[in-house]
Structure 1
Amino acid sequence: MSLERSAVELDRTVLESIESALRTWDPTESGRLGETEQLREDFTRRFHLEAWPTLPIESYALGQQTPGGTVCWWMEFHTRSIASMSGGSSYKHLIFLRSSDRQWRFPREYDSVGEAWEAVRSGFVEAFRLASADRFDEIDDIRALRGAPALLSKLLFVYFPAELLPVCSKTHVDHFLRRLGQPASNWSAIQANRQLLGVLRAVPQLRGRSTQELGFFLYHWADPRAAVDVVKIAPGERGTYWQECLDGGYICVGWDDVGDLAQYESKEAFRAAFREHYSYGGNEAQVSRKSNELWTLVQLQPGDKVVANRGVSEVLAIGTVTEEGYSWRKERPEYRHTVAVDWDTSFARTIEPVRGWATTTVSKVSADLLRRITAASPIAGPKAVAVDPLYVELEQALRRRGQVVLYGPPGTGKTYTARRAAVWLLEGGTGSAAAEAVLVDEARMAARERELASGSRPDRQVWVMVANPAHEWSWSRLFDDGVVEFSVGRLKRNFPRVRAGDLVVGYESTPTKAVVALARVTTEYDPDAPCEAAIALEPVTRIASGLTYEELQSDPVLSASEPARFRCQGTLFELTPVEAERLLGLLGERDPAVAVHAGGGARRLTRVTFHPSYAYEDFVEGFRPRESSVAGALDLTLTDGIFKEVCSTAAADPSRPHVLLIDEINRGNIPKVFGELITLIEKDKRGLPVRLPQSGQDFAVPSNLHIIGTMNTADRSIHLLDTALRRRFAFIELLPDAQLLSGSTAGALALDLFLENLNERVRSRLGREKQVGHALFFDGPSVVDSAEQFAAIFRHELLPLLQEYLYEDYDELGTVLGSVIDVAAQTPSAVVDDPEELCAALAAHFSAHASA
C-alpha cells in the first residue's frame, strides 16, 4: 500500500481538535522517546533480522528460562513503553511453553511443536522480507501468522520504525481512523496500520514527527479507552509494606504460591492454579472472588489509578500505573506480585469508613467513592469511570447487525444498560468526548436522556394554510391587522379539528409560491358561532427565504404530506408530527426566528414496551378511531404507528443516529408486530422500500436507526423466540455479576459471596435463566450497605421471587435459604423480621461471612 494514496482532506473540526491536543501534549515526556529508542535498539541487536532463519524456539517462546529473555517476553513485557500488546492469552504468540505442566501449546493445524515452529518462523522471515521490499500489502496474507496480528505489528514496527505506527490493536487503529473522520478499515492489521499512518502524514500539524511520537500523540489525543480504571489495593495487612511500596514505586500483594501471573496463558488456567493453592475450605465463590482480585493486577493499564489504603478509613496515597505495569519481583521475600505506580501522597487522609475494604485486598473504586476520597481535588477529571466494555460490544453489534437484544435473568441491569448505552451512542459512542462526559455525571445523563427522548417535536398540531394574494388575501395582511378571521366556507375541511394554540405555517401561492409566515390559532372552531368567524389567527413571525413549492415537492419527507400531494390547491392542510418536525426544522435552519418560536431538532431516542396485545397497528400503521365532525361520532382513520414515525424521523435526519429502545421485546408477538418489516431491518436491506398494505405508501427502514431490545429470560427463554427475530438481531447476554458487589456487606453478610452461592443453588435447581441479578442489591447507583436495607429487599423482592420460582415449595426454599425458612410451618421464620439476625443466619448458611 502506498502511503501517498491515503492522503486525505481532513475535516476542519478534526484539525482543530488535533491543534488543541497538541497544545497540551509534551512530546518529550521526560525522556520517554529516548527510552523507547534505546529499547528498540537493544532488541534489534539481541535479535538480528539476519538471525531469524535459524532462530531457535528457546529464543522465541514464552515459558522459557532463557537468559536475557525471549522474543515474546521482550514484546509482551519488556518493551511496553514502545507499544502495549498486553491482554488476552498467550495464544496470541502462537507458540508457548505452558508453565503449569511444561507442555508446548501451538496451533492445532500442526502435528508437533517442531512443525509449528518451522512454519511460524518461516512466516516471520517472509514478513520481514516483504517489509524490506516495501510490499506491506502482502504481509497480512501470510497464513502462519494470521493468529498473531498484535505480535506481528509490534515486531514490524521495531524492525521498520519509519513504516508503521506503534499501535498493535486493530480495534485501536479503527478507533483512530474514525476519530480522524475516516471509515474504519476493512483491511487486516498491517494494511490498516499503514492506512492510519498515511492519514496522519497528511496532517500539516504532525509533519516531521517520528512514528513513535505519532503513536504517543494518538493516545494522548484520542485514547480508545474512554477512561481510566480506579482500584484500591492494600499493601499488606494494616499497610505493612507501604513504605517499601512508596520507596520502590509500586504496590504489592500476596498469594505468592501461584507464582508469576505472566506465566498463565489464560485467566482460566490461572484460576485453576489458584484453586489448587487456595481452596478456601472448598468455597468456590470465595475462590472466584479472591482469584479475581489478584488477576486484576495484570489487567491494569498505564494511566489507571491505584488507591493505597490502610484499614477501612485511611488513604495512604493515590498513584498512576506506569508503563512497567505488573511484574513478579522474585527478589522480595514475600508479596511478590507488584504493579509499578507513580505515587502522589498529597491525597493521604482519613475518610469515612468504607466497610467493604475490610474484606478485600483489591477492589474497584466507584466514581462516587472516588469523589469522596479526593474531596474537591479530582484526580482523573471527566475520566474517573471507565466506559463499560458492554457499551462498546453493543456499539459493535449495532454497527454489524443494526439491532441487538440484551437478555438475561431479572435484575441484571438490562434496561438500565440499554438506556445509558443509547445516550452514550447518540452522543457519539467510542472516542467521543461528549459521550465520555455524560457517563460520569448521573444528573447530566438523566437530563440528556430526557432531551433526546423529547426532542423538539411540537406538542401542538401544525397546519399549512394557503393564501392567494391575487384573489383573496395576502399573509402581509395578518401582520398589518394583527388578526384574521376565517369562515367555514373558506376552510372547507379539517376545521373541526383545529385547536387554539396550534401552529400554522403560512404558504403564499401565485406569484410567491413559498412559505412566508408562521402564525398561531387564537380561537378554535365553535359549531354554534357565526360561520364567518369559525377560527382566528394571530401572527408569530415572518419567514425569510421559506421553502418554495419545488422544495416542498422534492423533499423526501414533505413530498408525501397533504399540501404536496394536493399541490397546495386548497386552504388548510394537516401535517403529521414527523412532517411538522421536518418542515419546522428546515425553516429554522434558514430563519432562526422559527427555531425560537417552534423549536428545532428531532426526537432521537424513542422507548416503547411490548405486551401481549401490542399489534402491527400500534407499531407500523393501522386504522384507529378518531373524533368525527359529527357530534358524538367516530371515524376510522389510518394512523402511523410508532415505528413508522421513528423511521420517518430518522430518514429526515440522516446525518445523526437514532435509537428505538424496545423493552420486554419477547412479550410481544414479534411476527405480528413487525409484519413484513422483519425483513427490512436487516443491515443489507436498510433503505430498500416496500409497499405497505394498508396505506399503499412506499416505506423503508433507514440505516441510521438502531434498535435495542431487552428481554427477561425468566419469562421466556431466548430459545423460544421467533426464528426470524433470532436471525436478524445480535444477542448479548447479561448475567448476574457478583463482582459489582465486591467488598459490600450487610451486617455479617458479604453480599458478593451470598449472591454467588445463592445463584449456584438456583442454577442447579432451576437453570441459569432464573438466577438472581446483582441489581437487586443496589439502591440507585450504590450498593446497599445496611442490614435494614438488605432485610427489606429480602422480604419484599428476593423471597417472593424465589417463592415464585419454586412454586411455593417450602421444602425446597428451606434447602436453598436455610433456617430463615420454617419448613414445618410453611412460612418464613421469625429471623426474617430481625435484620441483623437475618444477615447472620444467611451468612452462616451460605458460608458467606464478611471476612477476607
Structure 2
Amino acid sequence: MNESITERMAIWDAFLARWPLDSLINMSLGEYSQAGNQDNFCYWLEAKTGSLGSIWGGSSFKFGVFSRDNKSPKVNDSTRCYSSDYGWLAKYGNSAETAYDQVKSKLIQVAQAAHAGNLALIDQVDLGPALKWKIAFLYQDRDKPCILPIYKTEYLQAALGSSEKKVSILQQELVKGFDGKNFLEYGIALWDVIQEKLSTELTPEDAQQFLENSGKFSQIKTPTLKIAGYQSNDGPQLALALDNKRTTLYLSAGSWLDEVKSELLDIVTYSPDKSRSSNLSANAPDLAIGNAIVKVVVPTKAALIALCDAYDNSDPADKAPISIKIDAVGAITMQPLNQILYGPPGTGKTHATIDEALKILDPDFLNQHLDERELLKKRFDELVKEKLIRFVTFHQSFSYEDFVEGLRALTNDDKQLEYQVEPGIFKRLCDDARTHGAQPDAGIRSTPRIWKISIDGTAQTPTQKYCLEHGEARIGWGETGDLNQAVENNPYYNNLGSGDRGTLRYFAEEVASGDILLCIHSAENIGAIGVVTGNYRYEQTPPAGVRDDYKHVRPVKWLYRNLQLSILPLNDDKQFTLKTVYMMERFSWGDLLAYLQKSGVHPVEPNKSGEKRKPHVLIIDEINRGNISRIFGELITLIEPSKREGANEALSVDLPYSKRPFSVPDNVYLIGTMNTADRSLAGLDIALRRRFTFREMPPRPDLLNNVEVDGLDIGQLLSVMNHRIEVMLDRDHCLGHAYFIEMKTQEEKRTLNHLAFIFRHNILPLLQEYFFEDWERIRWVLNDHNCQSGIEPFIRQPGQDRNLEKLFGATVATSLRDARWEINEKAFDSINSYRNILGIGT
C-alpha cells in the first residue's frame, strides 16, 4: 500500500463512519460477510482497510464465520462446519447463525475493550488473533492510541527481539517508543524495522526454534540428526532438514503454495512415487513415499512466517484427489476415492475401515455416535445389507477373474457344458453404483431383468409410434381375451404354438414393474429403452391407429428413444431372435448403462441423478498380499479420479471376456488396508501407489496410557518394546496397540492373566515371525538379557539337566556353542518379568 498518511486516516474515518461501534450490536450475518458484496464488515477489514495493517490471505475461517463464494459441497470435521452458504468454526456453534452470534459478541467485546484501552482482555477473547487485533486497532481511542497496525505475533516479537507470546504485552512495549506525533507514521517506521530484521538469512537452527516456539506446530517425535518432523494445528505435516546449510522444508503439496511461492527458492515437486529422503517416513509419515509433496528452500524468516500461515490454514482437500458428492439424503462426503490405511499388525486398520466407510456413506451418523462403537458397527452392517459396502480380502491366489470378470462352467438345460461370463466383486459393485439412482424417478428395480420386445415388427409402424409416444408396450394375439382371466378353454389361445403362448405369459405374468424393455428397431439394433411402470391390462378396443389385435398392454416409461444402437457388443455378437418377448440374459442393466454412456446416448428427459447416486464402498483387506497387476489388470488406470465416469479425461475399456465396455463410476470408493510387516510401501506396486492416498496407522501406545496391571503401565510397556524393534528392524514391524486395547475398554481385563494371554498368543508369536525365530534378538526386545536374580526371563536356555556336557560329554561340549532357547512359561505369570521389559526391578 502506497497511500499517504492523510489517505490512510481518511480510510480509517470512512470505516468508522460505515461501522460505528454502537452499530455492531445490530449488524446482521449478511452485513458481516456476504460473498460478492464489497460492502460487508469482513471485506472492509481485509481489503478496504488494508493500508491500516494487512490481514490478507490465508483461510476465511479467520473470520469465525463467512459467506462462501465457492458453493461446492464440503464435509464437516471436528473444527470446521459448512452449509451451502456459510462456513464456520465448529467451536462457535452448530449453525452459521449460532456461530455468528458468538463471533459478534466477541468482536463487540474486543472493540469495547480496545476503546477502553484494556488490551489484556483482548488477549483472552477467543477470536483469531489477526482478526481481533485488527478490530482492536480500528476501534481504539484515537486520542489515546495504544495499538499499532501490526497484528502478527511474530512481527511484534521481531521488533522487540522478544519471545513473549501475549500480543497485549508486545503492543504495550512497542507503544512506549511512540513520540506523541503521528501514530500511523510511527507504525510505518516500526514496520520498516521489522522487515529489515526478518529479511536476514534464515538458518535451519533459526527455523527449528521458530517452529517449536510458534504455537502452530508440535513435534511428531524427537528429531534425528538429519530431520525434524512437525504437525500443524490444522493437520498438515512438515519436515525440516537439519543437515542442510540452507533452510529446507518438505511439505504436502497443495494450493497453499500459490500464496507464497514468490518468497521461496528451489521449489521441487515430488509425485507420490518419486523417491525422497528415507528419514521422512519416520519423522513425518504423511510426507513419505506414496504422497505428493514439495521441497522448498526458505531464505528468510519473513518467508517462513508467510509459508507457515498459508500452510497451517491450507485446506486438507489439497492433499489428495478428493471427490465431493451429495448422497440421496443430502449428506455431504469429501473423501479420497482411493485410499490405503497402512501400518504394522494390530494398529486397528480393519477396525478403522468402519469409520472410513461411514465418513463416506453416513457422516452425520458417525459424527453423532463417535464414541458408540456398537451403534457404528450396527449402522455399518445395515449398509452392507444394502450392498453399499462390500468386503474382500486379497491373497496370493486372488485373480482378475475373481475381481473383475471371468468364465464359469455351467451345465445348460440340455445337460451340455457351457461357459458363462461371471462378473467379479468389483464389477458388480461398479454396476450397482452406476445403476443406483440412475433415472431415480423411473421406478427401476435394483436388479431389473431385461426383456426384448418387438412392437408390431421392426419398422416404426403407427402402432409402435403410438406406444412410444403414449408410454405403452403392446403385443398382439388379442383374440385370447384378458390374460388375467382363465384362457385355457379359449380355442384361439389353445391353437397358438408354445412359443407364442410363452410370449403371452412373459408379457402378462413374468415381466415385472421396474424391469427394462428393449424395443427393437431391427434384428440388430435397439430402437428404444423403457422401464415397466405398472401391471398388465387388457384393452378390448385399441386406440385409433393401433392394430386391432394389439390389446395386451403394459404401461412403460420410455427412457431412450430413436436409438438405432447395435445389440451385438452387448449380446455376444448375436442378433435379436424372432420371438416377440423374451429375457436377455447375456448382460445386465449396469452393462447396458455403460454401453449407452460410451455411445454418447442421452435419455429423453435430462438425467439429474448424478447428484443422488449413493456412494458405494469396496473395502480391500490385505491389499498388498495380492498380485496387484494380475488382479486389477487394465482397470488400474480407470480407478484414477481423473479417469472416472464424468471426468474430463474419463476412460473406458472393453473387458476381455465379455467384450463389453466398462468404466469406473465416480461414486465408487476403494478403501484398502496394508500390513507393513508383510511388505513395506517401497515394495508396493508403483502403479498402485500413484493412484491411492496413503494414511499411516502407526502404533498408538498413548491410547494405553494410565492402563495399568499391578502398577505396570501398559502404554509404556508397548512403547519400550517398539523402540527396540525399530532399532533392530524398522518401524514397519512394530507391535500394534490393538492387542492391548481391550484392557482399556474393559476394566475386568486389566489382569495379569489377560496380559499373559496377550503375550502368549499375540506378542511372542509375532516376534518369532519378525525375527525368524532368532531367539537372542527376541530376548533383547523383552530385555531378558538384563534380568536380575529372581526374575523369570521369557526366553531362556535349557536348564542344567539338559546342558551340553550331559548330552555330549565334556570333550565334545567344549567345542559346541549352545544355540538352544526355550520359552519360560513361568515368566508369563510373573508381573516382575513384565516390569523387567521396562528395566524396572522388583
Fold agreement, TM-score > 0.5:
no
Q: Max radius of gyration: which structure?
A: 2
- TM-score w.r.t. the length of structure 1 is 0.44
TM-score (norm 2): 0.44
Higher helix share: 1
